[in-house]
Chains A and B, each alone.
Chain A
Amino acid sequence: MSISRRKFLGWVGAAGLSATIGKSATASTHKHFTGYPGSFAVLHDTTLCVGCRSCETACNKVNDLPSPDKPFADLSVLEKKRRTTTKAFTVVNKYNDPERPKKPVFFKKQCNHCLEPACASVCFVRAFTKTKTGAVIYDSSVCVGCRYCMVACPFEIPTYEYDQVLTPRIRKCTMCYPRVSKGQLPGCVEVCPMEALTFGKRQDLINFAKQRIQKYPDRYVDHIYGEHEMGGTSWLYISGVPFKELGMREDLGVTPAPELTAGALSSVPMIVGLWPVLLTGLYAVSKRKEKIAQTEQENAVALALDKADASPQSIISEATESQTGEES
């Protein structure tokens, strides 16, 4: 196997994977979560990408996807901005750098495999799992097809088989979970001729990216996209132009997705615990009022009847007055 260091930073075999993760699982985590220790990631150095679409070809082959409408060799598709589809788990887009108009920038888009995935957070059947390899994988055998994951994903990645009648699935990049589990590289990383993609432990890649940025400050903007975005992702990017110009949102914030709904979810036990108390209280108050009104009415009538002999007219009219007064 000829894997250069650039493609696989700090090689660990699949056998080593579980061992590393097993050992470092000692630190007790309380409220602060840093993800599976030693999990993998991919670093995309956009300054090296030439837009050859080899990664798209490899992805298509590895995932047994249907052949595209236009062949992968046709680079004219780069002229139009594309997103992931059920037929393409990854797409390369071309962006023009205003400072260097002759040299376009290419950006590979696929699932970013968040450390705290929004899709997993919102799935009401837990069809999505963040695995210890770093991949976010999807289990179609439980999926109901509500498509809330697509609403939730800040990167607009999951796609849906709308044309399937009985077995529509969500489709997205698996970070080649089956291959990585066997000790192989993800299809796109393996095939990239420019070594624009590097696979390795996430922490190593972040350190590596930082070194690159420090070493070539003129070449990169000082930002590793994915280090903190949405709580961090397992795909990391470095670039020579601001990420905003590569179609990446820079306003996503650093809040991990599950935290966005944690507050709302935490109100559930409060409502269930306290609402019945409050409502039963109100019910008791209204009951009590009703009872008092009833007793007063009875008393008034009894009083009226007692005094009926003495001066019938005046007392009866008085009693009925007080009665109507209470009713209104």
Chain B
Amino acid sequence: MTEETIAENKSFFNLFNICAGIVVVIGLYITYLRFTGGLAAVTNLSDNNPWGIWISFDLLCGVALAAGGYVTSAAVYLFGMKKYHSAVRPAVLTGFLGYSLVVLALQYDVGRPWRLPYPLVVQQGTTSVLFEVGLCVAIYLTVLFVEFSPAALEWLGLKKARNLAVKLTILLTIFGVVLSTMHQSSLGSLFLIAPSKLHPLWYSPYIPIYFFVTSIIAGLSMVIFESTLSHRFFAYKMDETHLKEANGITLGFGKAAAYVLAGYFAIKVMGISAGNNWHYLKTGYGTWYLVELIGFVALPALLYAIGVREKNLILIKWTSVLAILGIILNRFNVCLVAFNWQLPSSERYFPHWMEIGISVFIVMIGLILYRFIATRMPILYAHPDYKDAH
């Protein structure tokens, strides 16, 4: 690494620290307001709009974008794609942090956060999709913790515990896929209860499958996006294997994402047909639906494909951003834009700036934690003591 890039990195991190500092201070202030004044003090939530961006972004997008963990570990450990091995640890770390932050965000959103264990230990509402989501997220967070733990244990030098955790890899990976299939899809199923409130173009009996498939797209795209950022800022931490495998990961994951996006496009179109909702496409909501479907599903599928065919890594990396935005757009559409479409515009929801403030605050905590861990633990390189273990 040249001195120039080190200097560049340094100035960037100084800027990052300043931004992080400001966001954290504001975040803590809003936190104080939230827990002294209630939800009314910091949100625009109302009786008609009980779920805002803390659900649509922090929960729905957070869980989808943290899907890289199960997607990558399944590809490497179950499907035998060993050449992507160096992507596993960063992806699992992102997954673990992502789910932790989802749980943190819920502390703000639910009315009595200290009761969050109630569905498990006090009274089980087993007919609720949310019960399943809660159960899966709780167990999967534990699975991710154990999957992530070898990195921390290597860092701490606890060999025995580390080897025990590594022995569980296959089991944990299978559990991860099973649990993710359930709760990723169930986040979509949450809306099955409200056919009268969600616009017919987005309301579909296939919505659980849509949510599951998009979580794969989100997972693949996040791995590409994240690896791009890591190479920009943490390249000095990476070992030879990591650097050597990086391009292959971008190409391979881009190819997979292109094909999954194509399949997703197909089932979305068939969904319109199944509900006989073609005539809605002519309305304003229909235009917006087409923007999502063409601009954020078909287009990234095509761009990924071109990028892979022409080995254009830059294009693949930018397409990953587009695909991620597409997932975020989809979650916002289902939870906010197309939800309560029957209401007059005066009764619709728009987030309060403090709600956005908390969401930014939580993302910032994720970035800070990622940097803390990636610069200390063997995430982007193999620990010298365990080089052959992979």
Contact = CB atoms under 8 A, between A and B. Distances in A.
Direct A–B contact in the complex, CB atoms closer than 8 angstroms? yes
A295 interface: no
Interface of A: 83-86, 118, 120-127, 142-148, 150-152, 154, 156, 158-168, 249, 251-253, 257-258, 260-261, 263-265, 267-268, 271-272, 275-276, 279-280, 282-283, 285-287, 289-290
B161 interface: no
A271 B181 contact: yes
B177 A282 contact: no
Given A83-B47, A264-B186, A265-B127, A249 B196 contact: yes
Given A118-B193, A147-B50, 10 more contacts: A126-B123, A144-B112, A145-B111, A154-B197, A163-B38, A163-B39, A167-B112, A264-B186, A265-B127, A283-B174
B369 to A, nearest CB: 26
Contacts of B119: 124-125, 144
A179 B339 CA distance: 37
Contacts of A123: 125, 128
A153 to B, nearest CB: 9
Given A159-B47, A263-B205, A271-B181, A279 B38 contact: no
Contact of B118 (A83, A118, A144, A290): A144
A279 B182 contact: no
14 contacts: A125-B124, A125-B125, A126-B123, A126-B124, A143-B111, A143-B115, A144-B113, A151-B194, A164-B111, A168-B39, A265-B132, A268-B182, A271-B181, A275-B174
Contacts of B35: 165
B280 to A, nearest CB: 14
Given A154-B194, A160-B111, A290-B80, A258 B178 contact: no
Contacts of A85: 47
Top 9 closest pairs, chain A to chain B, by CB = A145-B111, A286-B80, A147-B50, A264-B189, A162-B40, A150-B50, A168-B111, A124-B131, A124-B125
A260 B192 contact: yes
A156 B48 CA distance: 7
A124 B38 contact: no
A124 B47 CA distance: 19
Contacts of B43: 162
Interface string B116-148: 101100111101111110100000000000000
Interface string B157-201: 000000000000010011001100110011001101111110000
A151 B51 contact: yes
Interface string B38-66: 11110101111011000000000000000
Given A144-B116, A267-B208, A258 B127 contact: yes
A271 B128 CA distance: 17
Nearest to A253: B195
A121 B128 contact: yes
Nearest to B128: A124
B78 A168 contact: no
Contact of B115 (A120, A142, A271): A142
B234 interface: no
Contact of A146 (B45, B130, B189): B130
A142 B111 contact: no
Contacts of B186: 264
A279 B174 contact: yes
Contact of B78 (A161, A252, A286): A286
Interface string B245-260: 0000000000000000
A265 B205 contact: no
A287 B80 contact: yes
Given A268-B182, A287-B80, A84 B47 contact: yes
B177 A279 contact: yes
Given A162-B38, A168-B38, A144 B127 contact: no
Nearest to B129: A261
B48 A147 contact: no
Contacts of A158: 47
A264 B40 CA distance: 33
B110 A146 contact: yes
A267 B186 CA distance: 10
B182 A257 contact: no
B182 A271 contact: yes
A249 B181 CA distance: 35
Interface in B216-236: none
Given A122-B129, A168-B111, A252 B196 contact: yes
A122 B116 CA distance: 15
A279 B111 contact: no
Of listed B35, B189, B192, B197, residue having the most chain A CB within 10 A? B192
B182 A260 contact: no
A313 B151 CA distance: 46
B77 interface: yes
B47 A261 contact: no
Contacts of A126: 123-125
